[in-house]
Amino acid sequence: MFRGVLQLGSRPGLSFRQLGTRSGGSTPDWVGKVSEIKKKIQSALPGATWNPLYDTSHLPPEHADVVVVGGGVIGLSVAYWLKKLEKKRDAIRVLVVERDSTYSKASTVLSVGGIRQQFSLPQNIQLSLFSANFLRNINEYLAVTDDPPVDLQFNPLGYLLLASEKDATVLENNVNLQRKEGAKVCLMSPEQLQNKFPWISTEGVALASYGMEGEGWFDPWSLLQGLRRKLQSMGVIFSQGEVTSFVTSSTHLETSSGEKVVLKRIREVHVKMDNSLEYQPVECAIVINAAGAWSGQVAQLAGIGMGPPGTLKGTKLPVEPRKRYVYVWHCPQGPGLEAPLVADVSGVYFRREGLGHNYLGGRSPTEEEEPDPTNLEVDYDFFQDKVWPHLAKRVPAFNTLKVQSAWAGYYDYNTFDQNGVVGPHPLVVNMYFATGFSGHGLQHSPAVGRAVAEMVLEGHFQTIDMSPFLFSRFYLEEKFQERNII
């Protein structure tokens, strides 16, 4: 009954011309006036020091056209493309709100930094191809005058996916699709695999796929800092704080079938300042929910999922934090510099880390093994029991490895179909999603940012058709399942 309402997400929304920039917060003119006043007071009262009653420099502006909730690479990418694609320079005022200014718990910097085209859905393959081109030409996009170039430390060594007998047909079909979309991926028999990588055991392997171009890994921190630096040069405003509530207005409509529908629009975002009880209300036209593992909570603040079960209003954003461990080990006899990122039939993965015979890897737990996501403590027994046996079976040299360190990070895990959520909400019409990528958000961030910006500015996707990623699929129970989750 709500299909007409659901189509709102694909209709032209707020056009570029409707994004009116309103001044707010500190402006250069105001800063200059304050400076003059300070000088006058100091000259009138020799020896006195300037002690303002209330300093507002740490607050976000009172007005922004677009508020991006979440300052990881996906949120920053959305902000970048909004500024890049704006029709007139400085036409759009963009505010990025990030609560963790150190990024110590951010999924971006705690990931292993991989990029691959070896996915099972055309859209994910297209996202990877776009992002690989962006990363390959990073300084054509993110260069800042008089600043050093961005160095992503990209290792183009590919992904090697191994399949058992029962999964070989699926792997072959995936590779055919990847090639059709333009990815350079080859299939390898166990014999070919052994010849190319003699350090690997082919026991239990029926087929392998190997990415020959545009795959490997890079430094996530370098991409994050490159985006932040570029956005600052483009006039994007950054604020350290946490979005705690929204102020909304409602419009009551009736569908052709007589059903009553309430559309909501966010008018204000309340940003709570770090280590403080104060908050700043920010008037805005658009909100981008790029809060990663916590985007489901941000959606609830806007009333999403708070209606009766089985209704569109009661349909939640099914994204939650899932903790994943990454272990680092040393093995002098391990694979050499040519080693790709290997994804084993068991689900265990590993790659080389640096030049000193160090490696990192891990495995996603089963539903029964899911660890407590309320902290980022590492379970070393999980490596001992669930990871190491498979590593040693696949690479005999790893029998003698020694674990050096480990960390844990969060997936923004989409429990519905492990795929991203992109585009506007059908009822909270000016909240746009860029979340739920379940472990492949970093590598897809350049393309996802562009897709969201296109939807905001033009009302539809242009570069890649992301319609299957819309929120409406949760209400309609239409899964868009990605099979290749590592």
Q: Is 471's pLDDT higher than 70?
A: yes
Q: pLDDT tens digits, residue range 36-56?
A: 555 554 554 554 444 555 556
Q: What's 55's DSSP letter?
A: -
Give the CA distances from residue 21 to residues 16, 143, 285, 430, in Å, rounded to whole numbers and listed in that order: 11, 26, 10, 16
Mean pLDDT of 373-382: 96
- pLDDT tens profile 102-155: 888 888 888 999 999 999 999 999 999 999 999 999 999 999 999 999 999 999
pLDDT of 4 higher than 60: no
With a CB cutoff of 8 Å and minimum separation 6, the contacts of 369 are: 382, 386
User: If pLDDT is split at 50, 70 and 90, which confidence band does 257 have?
Assistant: confident
pLDDT at 18: 42
Arithmetic mean of pLDDT, 404-419: 96
Provide the terminal-to-terminal Cα distance of the chain, rounded to the nearest Å. 37
The set of residues, in sequence order, having a beta carbon less than 8 Å from that of 56 and lying 6+ positions away, is 25, 26
Question: pLDDT band at residue 3, thresholds of 50, 70 and 90?
Answer: low
Mean pLDDT computed over every residue of the chain: 90
Region of residue 311 (left: phi > 0; alpha: psi -120 to 50; beta: else): beta
* pLDDT for the residue 16: 38
Write down the pTM of the prediction.
0.88
| Confidence (pLDDT) at 163 | 97
By the 8 A CB rule, do 83 and 92 touch?
Answer: yes
The helix/strand/coil state of 161 is: strand
Q: State the pLDDT at residue 26.
A: 40
Q: Give long-range contacts, CB 8 A cutoff, 24+ apart: 169-173.
A: 170/120, 170/483, 171/207, 171/208, 171/209, 172/207
192/286 Cα distance (integer angstroms): 53
pLDDT tens digits for range 164-210: 999 999 999 999 999 999 999 999 999 999 999 999 999 999 999 99
What is the reported pLDDT for 23? 37
